[in-house]
Amino acid sequence: MTDAALDTSRALGRRDYRTLGLAALGGALEFYDFIIFVFFVAVLGELFFPPEVPDWLRQFQTFGIFAAGYLARPLGGIVMAHFGDLLGRKRMFALSIFLMALSTLGIGLLPTYETVGIIAPILLLLFRIAQGAAIGGEVPGAWTFVAEHVPARHVGYACGTLTCGLTAGILLGSLVATALNTVYTPAEVHDFAWRIPFILGGVFGLVAVYLRRWLEETPVFEELKRKKALAAELPLKTVVRNHLGSIIVSMLMTWLLSAAIVVVILMTPTILQKQYGFSAVTALEANSLATLCLSIGCVLAGIIVDRVGAGRFFVVGPILLAAASYALYTQLHTHPEWLFPLYALAGFAVGTIGAVPYVMVTAFPAAIRFTGLSFSYNVAYAIFGGLTPMFVTLMMRSDPLAPAHYMVAVCAVGFLTGLYLLLRRRA
């Protein structure tokens, strides 16, 4: 990152840590809102689709609505990034979380299929699309925001910490889902308790809106504004015309990130119940442990990438992730007692993704950074993150180890991308 507004020599100060803390906490609350949906896929499938539909098809359809949130990310992300590059990062930061709070609260108050018929899944789809538009602006905006607040030599740490906050939102969702399945019977969850985490999410989102009042605009954007160096034309046009290589690398890195999160963290609790026979409570407890290890791994990945560079980091990280993921899915049938250590190890390996935003925020110049990162990340996540649950679900009908095989394939892509980054740096 070569922005003049960033003093590369100074250490992180109290203001930096305050910014990172507030951004990470707000990101955690917003990501909880987006993710809580996946922990109740089985229940939502029963409540929002006709009862005569086969179980696998209900699950497929519900994951389809889940995927719609990912498919909506590019629209929200590109629009918010456009104005973020022209009007400021902070304003879009607040808008994204407000939209998320309203849509999550709406899901919690929806009538079910039994009450209003086909209107129920349509409304669920619309609110999920609104969630996708909100998160599409949130994640790239958050990475851009924290990266532009810290010295250049700490960008990896800042992005890893912010990603830790986002994954903490997944942990919060897992803990809430575990608590509900512990306190309430399956019948009570089905009847009314499923609404609680979505209503909580709406409240969490409004709290996050308030927290972001205390954040300041980034020094990089203020410097660009002072020097009248903001994008002279449509930022997206500049990105697509002049930065195709950065787009491709960022998309491949996003594929690695999305596969790790969607398969290992979000889909696996359901897979553990359906394929391996674990109870909902046990699966969610193991998922909570894995997500905690993921959050720790994200910060560590950010620290390491600051020191060794992206190329060296990503020729090692994907190999560890592939090995840990493969061990998780292949050993549980014969060694179910290894669930917690295997899932914890896999979760920690998923922490490799904490270094992914470092690659993306350093790939684009400041004037079009938000747009470049948002376009690459959201389009790739819409394709890979959105279609992965349905693709893996269909694969599992003929290949029970489909999650393991998919992760190994994507990690190979991540390794090759890391090798390219390493060779390009040496060239």
State yes or no: pLDDT of 90 exceeds 70: no
CA dihedral angle for residue 110, residue 114, residue 120, residue 121, rounded to 10 degrees:
120
Task: State the virtual CA torsion across 330, 55, 257, 351 in degrees, nearest 10.
Answer: -50
Q: Higher confidence at residue 340 or residue 77?
A: 340
How far apart, in Å, do the first and last CA atoms of the chain sit? 19
Predicted pLDDT at 329: 95
User: Per residue in 151-207, pLDDT tens?
Assistant: 888 899 999 998 998 888 888 887 888 888 889 988 898 888 999 999 988 888 888
Range 285-295 average pLDDT: 92
pLDDT band at 345 (very low <50, low <70, confident <90, very high): very high
Residue 5, pLDDT score = 40
Q: Taking a C-beta distance cutoff of 8 angstroms, is the pair 146, 138 a contact? A: no
Report in angstroms the alpha-carbon separations of 66 from 36, 88, 213, 388: 10, 30, 30, 11
Lowest mean per-residue pLDDT among 78-82, 284-288, 381-385: 78-82
Residue located via tokens 């914890």:
344
Cα→Cα distances 186→180, 280, 417, Å: 9, 10, 44
What pLDDT sits at residue 3?
A: 44
- What's the pTM value of the predicted model, to 2 decimals? 0.81
225: enclosing H helix or E strand: helix 219-226
Q: What percent of the chain has pLDDT over 90?
A: 33
Ramachandran bin of 301, using left for φ above 0, alpha for ψ from -120 to 50, beta for the remaining angles? alpha
Structure token digits, residue 117? 């018929």
Instruction: Tell me: pLDDT of 149 over 90.
Output: no
pLDDT grade, residue 6 (50/70/90)? very low
| pLDDT of 402 strictly over 50 | yes
pLDDT at site 1: 44
Residue 233 — pLDDT band, cuts 50, 70, 90?
low
Q: CA dist 10 to 2, 13, 144, 161, Å?
A: 15, 8, 19, 19
Say which DSSP state 352 is in: G
When computed from its CA atoms, the radius of gyration of the chain, rounded to whole angstroms, is: 21
Decide if pLDDT at 372 tops 50: yes
Q: Angle CA(348)–CA(353)–CA(358) in degrees, nearest 5?
A: 135
Query: Looking at the predicted structure, is the pLDDT value of residue 336 above 70?
Result: yes
* pLDDT tier for residue 131 given thresholds of 50, 70 and 90: confident
* Predicted pLDDT of residue 197: 92
Q: In this model, does residue 7 exceed pLDDT 60?
A: no
Q: Which residues contact 174 (CB under 8 A, 6 or more apart)?
A: 39, 269, 284, 287, 288, 291
The beta strands (E) that lie in 181-340 are given as: none
Q: Read out DSSP for 360-400?
A: HHTTS-GGGHHHHHHHHHHHHIIIIIHHHHHHHHHHTTT-T
292, 350 contact by CB (below 8 A): no
Q: Identify the burial level of 169 via C-beta atoms within 10 angstroms of its C-beta, where 0-12 means exposed, 13-18 middle and 19 or more buried.
A: buried
Minimum mean pLDDT among 247-256, 268-277, 378-387: which range? 378-387
Q: Rounded distance, CA 29 to CA 206, Å?
A: 9
Higher-pLDDT residue of 127 and 76 is 127
Amino acid at position 192, single letter: F
Please say whether the dihedral angle defined by the alpha carbons of residues 214, 220, 223 and 225, taken in this order, is positive or negative.
Answer: negative
Please say if the pLDDT value at position 87 is more than 70: no
More confident residue, 365 or 385: 365
Under 8 Å between Cβ of 347 and 265: yes
Q: Is residue 256 a contact partner of residue 318, using CB atoms and an 8 Å limit?
A: yes
CATH 1.20.1250.20 assigned to domain 14-426? The reply is yes
d(CA 198, CA 221): 35
Among the listed residues 121, 131, 148, 127, the one whose alpha carbon sits nearest the alpha carbon of residue 57:
121
pLDDT winner (highest mean) among 84-98, 251-265, 279-293, 389-403: 251-265
pLDDT digits (tens, 9 = 90+) for 37-77: 877 877 888 888 777 777 767 667 777 777 777 777 777 77
Using H for helix, E for strand and C for coil, what is the string for 331-350?
HCCCCHHHHHHHHHHHHHHH
pLDDT in the model for residue 323: 97
Specify the range with the lowest mean pLDDT, choosing from 142-146, 148-152, 219-223, 319-323: 219-223
Instruction: Determine the average pLDDT of the residues in 118-129.
Output: 88
Question: Domain coordinates of the chain in residue numbers?
Answer: 14-426
